């Protein structure tokens, strides 16, 4: 009888779960249970009404628990499979309630996250089939997240406790997978959509921005957008974290320099001027001293080439911004004196 079959499957999983190292066997049994439920129909396999609902939940929760446990144990390949299976079991629960919908979404997103982590772990790129599978899972999760964000699926309490992390992991994974397809436009759209959501936090954008600024699949447009957005958020805080502010400023200057060149570029110059405006009025040492020194010296050094080429006004512009920044950095007294002398001599000659 079908009901007896589900009991046998549940008992087998329970027995296997009691011994460590049986994860592959547990996964095989759970997959078989899902296949049988699909073949016979959920009601026939799990049973009807409350009994059937409890059976479905048991298989869904068990798959989820194994997915999170194997993930914690850094067995990401198995984790991805368990979580993908969990989403399928949760999907079988009739009249899925708000909690089940959230669990389906979490399972899908974390499954892709585990797939990406598995790639880093085994140092072998995802196959084309795996990339397509990840994209399919994310597309499904994305549709559910739209419902969650609109408040149609979960109440405000659930959004506050679940959605922020879920949205971030989804956005991060979507950015990663879209990069594998060289879909730069979709990457920017994904990050902009996330940035405009209630779930977005500056720390999340910082992580996305840093990730987008490096590696073989970097996207400087996404990196610049994300870092500028998080910089604005950091600065608008009642108590700005100037360590992070300095990190973002340096990164934005580096990105602009790489993609705009080292010449006198308005964008690069504007970043130094913005850094100067940030530092004005701060207490001594409030802006990281080493970062302040870096700003002052790199701005000053940018004057070297234009001065050698006889572009004196351009050189003076960079010298002045370097000198202005140095005024607000502790421990640069000797440098400031030298800078002042050089500027004075330059003014006399030109």
Domain residue ranges of the chain, discontinuous segments joined by +: 238-350
Interhelix angle for 98-122 vs 76-91, to 10°? 160
Interhelix angle for 156-180 vs 184-195, to 10°? 160
Determine the pLDDT at residue 297: 97
pLDDT tens for each residue of the chain, 350 residues long: 445 799 999 999 999 999 989 999 999 999 999 999 999 999 999 988 888 889 999 999 999 999 999 999 999 999 999 999 999 999 887 655 677 888 999 999 999 999 999 999 999 999 999 999 999 999 999 998 887 666 544 444 444 446 688 999 999 999 999 999 999 999 999 999 999 998 899 999 999 999 999 988 899 999 999 999 999 999 999 999 999 999 999 999 999 988 765 554 788 999 999 999 999 989 988 999 999 999 999 999 999 988 888 888 899 999 999 999 999 999 999 999 999 998 988 877 76
Determine the pLDDT at residue 157: 47
Determine the pLDDT at residue 9: 94
pTM: 0.88
- CA pair distance 180, 131, nearest whole angstrom: 8
Contact of 144 with 84, CB cutoff 8 Å: no
Contact of 13 with 30, CB cutoff 8 Å: yes
Tally the C-alpha atoms within 13 A of residue 223's C-alpha that lie toward its C-beta: 22
Determine the pLDDT at residue 213: 95
């Amino acid at each position: 009888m079908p009901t007896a079959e589900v009991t046998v499957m549940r008992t087998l999983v329970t027995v296997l779960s009691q011994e460590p190292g049986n994860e592959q066997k547990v996964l095989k049994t759970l997959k078989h249970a899902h296949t049988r439920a699909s073949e016979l129909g959920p009601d026939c396999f799990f049973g009807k009404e409350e009994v059937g609902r409890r059976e479905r939940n048991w298989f869904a929760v068990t798959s989820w628990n194994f997915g999170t446990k194997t993930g914690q144990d850094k067995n990401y390949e198995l984790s991805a499979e368990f979580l993908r299976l969990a989403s399928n079991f949760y999907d079988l629960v009739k009249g899925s309630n708000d909690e089940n919908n959230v669990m389906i979404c979490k399972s899908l997103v974390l499954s892709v996250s585990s797939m990406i982590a598995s790639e880093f772990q085994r140092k072998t790129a995802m196959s084309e089939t795996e990339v397509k599978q990840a994209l399919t899972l994310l597309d499904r999760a994305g549709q559910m997240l739209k419902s969650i964000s609109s408040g149609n699926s979960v109440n405000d309490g659930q959004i506050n406790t679940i959605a922020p992390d879920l949205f971030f992991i989804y956005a991060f994974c979507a950015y990663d997978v879209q990069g594998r397809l060289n879909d730069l436009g979709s990457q920017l759209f994904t990050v902009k959509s996330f940035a405009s959501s209630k779930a977005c936090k500056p720390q999340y954008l910082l992580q996305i921005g840093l990730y987008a600024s490096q590696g073989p699949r970097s996207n400087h447009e996404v990196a610049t957008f994300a870092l500028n957005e998080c910089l604005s958020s950091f600065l608008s805080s009642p108590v700005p974290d100037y360590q992070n502010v300095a990190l973002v400023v340096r990164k934005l200057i580096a990105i602009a320099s790489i993609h705009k060149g080292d010449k006198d570029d308005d964008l690069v110059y504007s970043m130094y001027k913005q850094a100067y405006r940030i530092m004005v009025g701060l207490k001594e040492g409030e802006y990281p001293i080493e970062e302040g020194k870096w700003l002052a010296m790199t701005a000053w050094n940018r004057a070297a080439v234009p001065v050698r080429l006889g572009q004196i006004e351009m050189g003076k512009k960079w010298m002045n911004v370097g000198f202005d920044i140095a005024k607000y950095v502790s421990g640069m007294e000797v440098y400031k004196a030298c800078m002042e002398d050089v500027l004075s001599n330059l003014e006399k000659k030109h």
